[in-house]
Amino acid sequence: MKKGVLEFCILSIIRRGEAYPSDIIEEMKKAELHILEGTLYPLLTRLKNADLLSYRWVESQSGPPRKYFSLTDKGLSFYAELEATWRGMAAAVERVINTKGEETREEGQEEQPLTVNC
């Protein structure tokens, strides 16, 4: 389940602005989501290979050049889908755990069932 969630989080960080791996890890840490660099890099590469991300090299005075990632258009629309899915699932889970009895179940049947791929 975490699989899709991770990608979602990363895409959202990059959406906010061009970022390079270290930055991303810092932000995740701030949000109490700990991820290893070794996990991040392959992930970024995969996303890049799926044309959801693009990068550019930025020279740095203090050390080797860095890759800065940004979302492509495809990435943007993919992100939108992911967000919709996430919000939908979150709402559904909320409803389930806040159930008040029979009336809630009837209510729930009107909703469109969500298929969640994790």
Partner 1 sequence: MKKVININFQGRVIPIEEPAYENLKKYVESLRTYFSNEEGREEIVNDIENRIAELFNEKMKAGASFITEAHVEAIISSMGRPEQFDELSMNDESSSSQSNQHERTEHPRGNLFRNANDKLIGGICSGIGSYFRVDTSIIRVLFVLLAFGSFGFMFFLYIILWAILPSKYVAETVVRRKLYRDADHKVIGGVLSGIAQYFNIQVWIPRLIFLLPVLLSVFKESFPFGFPIFYGFSGSLVLTYIILWAVIPKAVTATEKMEMKGEKIDLESIKQKFQDEMHGLKKHVDENKDKWASTLKSKSSEFAQEVKETAQPAGRGFFRFIAALFKVFVFFILGVIALTLFALGTAIVVVGNALMPLKDFMINSNMIQLYGWGTVLLFLLLPIIALLIYFFRKLTGIKSKSSWLGWTWGALWTLGWISVTMFFVTVSKDFKRSGQVKQPVQLQQPSTGKLKLMFTDPAGKYYPIDFDFFNENDEDLEGIVGLRLSRNEDSLLMTNMRIRLQKSNDDSFHVSIIKRARASSAADAELYAEQINFTVEQSDSVLNLPHGFIIDNKNKFRNQQLIFVVEIPVGKEVYIDRKASNFIWVNFRGGARGLSVEFDEDYEDESWRPGVWYKMTENGIERNGDALDLDRPDRPPLPDSPIDPEEKIERLREEIREKERELESADNRINEKDSLAEMQVGANGYNNKISSSQSSSEERDRKGNFQILFRALNLLKLAR
Measured torsion, CA atoms of residues 58, 64, 70, 75, in degrees rounded to the nearest 10: 140
Q: How many Å apart are CA 87 and CA 81, to the nearest integer?
A: 10
Measured torsion, CA atoms of residues 14, 16, 18, 22, in degrees rounded to the nearest 10: -60
82 binds partner 1 (CB under 8 A): no
35 binds partner 1 (CB under 8 A): yes
24 binds partner 1 (CB under 8 A): no
42 binds partner 1 (CB under 8 A): yes
48 binds partner 1 (CB under 8 A): yes
Query: How far apart, in Å, are the Cα atoms of 98 and each of 87, 111, 112?
Result: 16, 16, 18
Decide: residue 61, CB within 10 A, 0-12 exposed, 13-18 middle, 19+ buried: exposed
Binder of partner 1 out of 12, 15, 21, 95 (CB under 8 A):
21
Binder of partner 1 out of 30, 32, 38, 59 (CB under 8 A):
38
Site size for partner 1 (CB under 8 A): 26
62 binds partner 1 (CB under 8 A): yes
Q: Interface residues with partner 1 (CB under 8 A)?
A: 2-4, 6-7, 21-22, 35-39, 41-46, 48-49, 62-67
